[in-house]
Structure 1
């Protein structure tokens, strides 16, 4: 580290000075066999995303890419589809006020409705904005009123929706709602949408139910409002601390109860983990040691602890680790003898 940080820049500085002194009469070239600087260790507060793989229920903190592979089973997850959870509301301009009521109701239920008037900033090319909105969505709702005509931009929205359905499969829903106006006129289903099931709701409330029932994503968790005191509320996101092994929970709990540090000691006859100043591995059985070392690795993988010396010997509980420990209760830990 000292060679790369101190000696490397000094050699570069010397090279520049010699070239300046030669004034072009001499060709000076310096070569060094110094290794390239190693990448800096990643800080706990690095702006990474917390991703959860549903296949193995594994949670990791990682820089987001279009595709990720589960670190347990290797299943490929398409993040571009995983994050496409908006609800595209397709309508004719004259029906906008009617559709805005649906937008407000869907938003109140926890969905993220996409409506062109507020989803596209001024100056956005309309075709490109519509395509991006469709790609960011998990479903499209076509409000087919007597004013709805399969032409112009509406025709583009139908084409975009069918393309997304082919790409995303059951992760994208095409929902066609056929409405009747007060004079008895009925909206005409576009030819390309006739291959999909459409509904003819008798009221706006029935139409809303059909939308919620058909979408591939669920609304938010029903719980008490934050301003209501004296009741227990659920966390907005699923707790990851409950997915920790019993050994990992015990290590984290002991470390937080002490000075927030723990050690992993290896010696000739085995290994030991000390958290909060007390030994954690109850016996020298290789199976027991493997379970407790696995618990420590679980904490490292979730970034609940960080390696202070980068040798896997001394660790410190991170901010995420303290938050996870706060979720743990004594009842969530089994006795060491039972692990």
Structure 2
């Protein structure tokens, strides 16, 4: 299991070279540590912008790196309720189902409840050892476990990023003051605070705002302009008393207005017309992708 003593000064430092090795500092420091050091402004430079105002467009790249200093783990982690995890007692079929349902390649493993995590299971390890269908064998999940990091909500993102690099662990559980699991954060979540959303092969092509999966069912980016999608489906989504057309421009904005908050991943929001919005990708701050089911599709 990962080191549970977080937040110490050593955690914020990348691996230091052996003084007797003669190796150059720039070659031995961690990749992220060198970038962080080179591009991050000093504390004095950050002070005027600590509230997020006053940054010009030219300062954009610096603002991205500044997030590693001024943002904390609690700002980007997903809540416990949204964590996809499996029990240490899971069977082969249950493990396969968990990977398929979550769409993730790494899942936390717990014993009893999510508040007693024991490690990570990687889809690659499972596939290499048992094949994608398990080859009819009983799996030994304990033998496949990889260590987890355990971090406090207050840890700066830059500290966690360097710790993940040093220990080659891409996932961390956020632990509350009572030792329970409060949330989860991945290395992708951290990097997105610097470079923006990182799309993968499961995301919609940047050139397309939506993909039609079948008749009446669409996979849609939350930032899709509402009027364009309405033209696609031939249905008005704003012509209702409870919806203020002047206040919303995107699918994500419409869903936020209907729910009155940022809905969690897996939550379904129903529109007055009968259209169903299934939130399939979101974080605590924004909606990213939704599956839209028109009324005729829900009836089949």
Scaled by the length of structure 2, the TM-score of the pair is: 0.20
Rg larger in structure: 1
Select the structure with the greater relative contact order (CA < 8 A; seq sep ≥ 6): 2
TM-score if structure 1 supplies the norm length? Answer: 0.19
